[in-house]
Structure 1
Amino acid sequence: MLAVLFATVAFSIDAMLPAMSEIATELSPQDTNRAQLVLMMFMAGMGVGTAVAGPVSDAIGRKPTIMLGSTLYIAAAAGAIFADSLTLLLALRFVQGMGAAGPRIAGTALIRDLYAGREMARITSFVMMIFIMIPAVAPALGEVIIDAAGTWRAVFAAFIVFGLVGVIWVWLRQSETLPRERRVPLSGERLISSATEILENRQVMLCTLVLTLGFGQMFALLSSSEQLFDQAYGRADSFTKWFALMALLSGIGTIANARYVMRYGMRRIARAAYAMQIVSASLGLLLVASGALHGDAAFYGFFAWAVSVFFMAGVTFGNLNALAMQNMPHLAGMTASIVAALSTLGAVIIATPVGLAFRGAPTPMMLAALVCSSLAWFLMGKLRD
């Protein structure tokens, strides 16, 4: 069920993908690219929320933080149903992202309370196996909901139901993993001291920067995925099916990581995944620039590259979080908060201009993947297991 809590973020993004064109037509007909901001604002809100969720979870416990965040998430989703302008919808999506940060950060800290190092990476990979199923079905589920209700607003009702399931399960089944004697009271001096310790930790900051680069390239692709399938390859009608297949295939990465991380180590596996993406993005750019592939072949080439991006995410993200937190058990919530806040906001800064640069071809996304993966591969060489 922890995977479902983590998947709040993925579901809140991927279920919106089939609604993007309708939102653009209804709320931003003069500039349809602005509809992408519905995704970006959610991520920005989550970035801000993560800066708060960690210290709060260290002070009051993991379970209450998950409950508070989920409540805010549900309230914002309810308001979004009635949004009559893109500006209001973006504001509510920002608040919804802030709420989603609670389950994400407190859930990560909860795992760190119980596990460490490679074992944490292995457990996180098992969680990711279930987590990956949400992106696989979310666009198709969003499409079914929109078709049945006749409006994109119904997707937000699904968010309410999804949030309620998480809240009820946590309330009834999840025990608190942070005992009172280990809690860190909220105070300005203590927060500054804790944040300083984390920000001065070279391992944590390197992992955060690599996560930013990985998350940025993935989200740049994700935010433009519907437009790519529609405008670049003429597959709007089958978008949800292809997206589901892409997510399921990329889930092989999490399975492989869970199986081999204890043997080969977190750093070695993650660095190999970025090396793979350097090759994949370079080949993709070469094929697009040369025009060597046409029609169905061009689409299948793009699809293979897109799968490689999500495969890379499945292999690297759990390992990098474990690497960042393995030496910070006394500040698990705060560390998870700072890592997630900086990497999420940094990813938005990377992904926003890349997404807005879309002009009918995947070139900006592939170029971003090449640059980000090259930098990530270089930085991974400076990390230790």
Structure 2
Amino acid sequence: MKRGPGYREFVTLMAVMISITALSIDMMLPALPEIGRDLRVGHANDVQLVVTVLLFGMGIGQLVFGPLADSFGRKPVILTGFVIFIMGCWLSVFSSRFEVMVIGRMIQGIGTGGPRTAILALVRDQYGGRAMARIMSVVMAIFIVVPAIAPAVGQAVLLTMGWRAIFGVLMIQGFVALTWFAVRQPETLSRDDRIPFSGSRILDAVLGVCKNRRSMGYTLASGFIAGALMSYLSSAQQLFQEVYGLGREFPIYMAVLALFVGGASFVNSRIVMRFGMRALSHRAVLLFIVLTTMFLAATCQMGGRPPLWLMMAFFAPSFFCMGILFGNLSAIAMDPLKHMAGIGAAIVGSLSNFISSSSGALVGRCYDGSALPLACGLVILGILTAIAMRWSEKPPVVKR
């Protein structure tokens, strides 16, 4: 059997692969006005599709690639995903119409669904227990840093080479990851452990998630709270640059908020064994609703344009609550699905992506030159998250 990379190389490779998703979203934000002008977008809010459609495509990719990874192996699925991602980047680089750009972003999202779904399975195949936890902690640490620096990287590329070069950078990273992975990483799923691909199996898994109250409720909750983050990402460029006039400085403010999300993930890993996932999640969502409701009240009182310092003062702890919720809600949703972990993860991930991308796009479309639509969206999505959590833990009615 071909020898794989050592521990350090393996962790670095996984980090490079998983960071492509975050870069694909956050590097675009500084370039949205330029893309809108060059491609003659009719409505300013339409350019937000460059962000949200990628997440929607990722949901499709996860749903397709999850079962394929169990049937044909991890390596073919990951390589195929990268090829599709590179094709989508190429289409975006040379797009002359906004519709073509959106299609390219959709293809990129579908492509990222392959690595995103198969990486966790790949790690599970080779490591277990504390070793696996150690690897995933390092990989997630990269995921913390990338959203913080990606807008600044995108801004630098935009100023020096133009917005099309951002897709070129993503295409190069995808090619490097594809080549590195193809050469150094052997297949980790033996032929004896592969499960035949069938539509009935996928349907059974979907029904299994839908019928399980806890899995379904926490999947919905995960989608709603991720939708709150996507609402912010959809509106962030317009909000920071148009309402607050930050210009090229807005990546700094985005980096600060991204670090609060990432810092919460680190804190959660330290305290979750002591307090438990559910207790932390309930407290975090309650605090999120309180904070965002207070921000909504302040925004209404100030004509939709609260001072920047006030918005950051509310957003920082709110985003910290989001970071606590992200990992916990997904873990609780997956807990009853141990018998179908691979395809279950794909279904949970894709459904939450569909919810977050559609809700984020809806809130973003409501942007009216003020912070009010975003403030309303955060409150509503926080409440929906709490309702879904509450419903999932309510005992089902037994018919007599």
Question: 1:140 maps to what in 2?
Answer: 152
Within 2, Cα distance between the matches of 1:125 and 1:214?
22
Structure 2 residue 335 is the aligned partner of structure 1 residue 311: no
Aligned residue among 293, 298, 301 for 1:287: 298
Within 2, Cα distance between the matches of 1:135 and 1:165?
20
Q: In structure 2, what residue type is equivalent to 1:36?
A: Q
> Structure 1 residues 204 and 180, CA, compared in 2 at 3 Å: closer, same or farther?
farther
Whether contact under 8 Å (2:148, 2:259) holds in the other structure is yes
Within 1, Cα distance between the matches of 2:219 and 2:93?
35
The offset of 1:115, in angstroms, is 5.5
Question: 1:359 maps to what in 2?
Answer: 368
Aligned residue among 60, 81, 92 for 1:80: 92
Whether contact under 8 Å (1:73, 1:99) holds in the other structure is yes
Question: 1:270 maps to what in 2?
Answer: 281
Within 1, Cα distance between the matches of 2:213 and 2:121?
20
TM-score, length-scaled by structure 2: 0.87
Q: Give the 5 Å matches for 1:77-156.
A: 77-111=89-123, 126-149=138-161, 151-156=162-167
Question: 2:178 maps to what in 1?
Answer: 167
> CA offsets, 1:103-154, max 9 Å, x none?
11112334565558x99888755533220111111111011111111x2000
Q: Give the 5 Å matches for 1:42-53.
A: 42-53=54-65
Within 2, Cα distance between the matches of 1:5 and 1:368?
32
Question: 1:244 maps to what in 2?
Answer: 255
Question: 2:8 maps to what in 1?
Answer: none
Question: 1:7 maps to what in 2?
Answer: 19
Q: Give the 5 Å matches for 1:195-234.
A: 195-234=206-245
Which 5+ residue runs of structure 2 have no aligned equivalent? 1-11, 394-400
Question: 1:333 maps to what in 2?
Answer: 342
Within 2, Cα distance between the matches of 1:41 and 1:82?
18
> Structure 1 residues 186 and 292, CA, compared in 2 at 3 Å: closer, same or farther?
closer
The root-mean-square deviation of aligned C-alpha atoms, in Å, is 2.5
Whether contact under 8 Å (2:260, 2:323) holds in the other structure is no
Aligned residues: 380
Within 2, Cα distance between the matches of 1:301 and 1:77?
38
Whether contact under 8 Å (1:219, 1:347) holds in the other structure is yes
Whether contact under 8 Å (1:121, 1:258) holds in the other structure is no
Which 5+ residue runs of structure 1 have no aligned equivalent? none
Whether contact under 8 Å (1:25, 1:32) holds in the other structure is no
Whether contact under 8 Å (1:122, 1:262) holds in the other structure is no
> Structure 1 residues 61 and 306, CA, compared in 2 at 3 Å: closer, same or farther?
farther
Question: 1:377 maps to what in 2?
Answer: 386
Where in structure 1 do 4 or more consecutive aligned residues deviate above 6 Å?
Answer: 118-123
Whether contact under 8 Å (1:77, 1:159) holds in the other structure is yes
Identify the range of structure 1 (224-233 vs 314-323) with the bigger mean alpha-carbon deviation. Answer: 314-323
Whether contact under 8 Å (1:58, 1:332) holds in the other structure is no
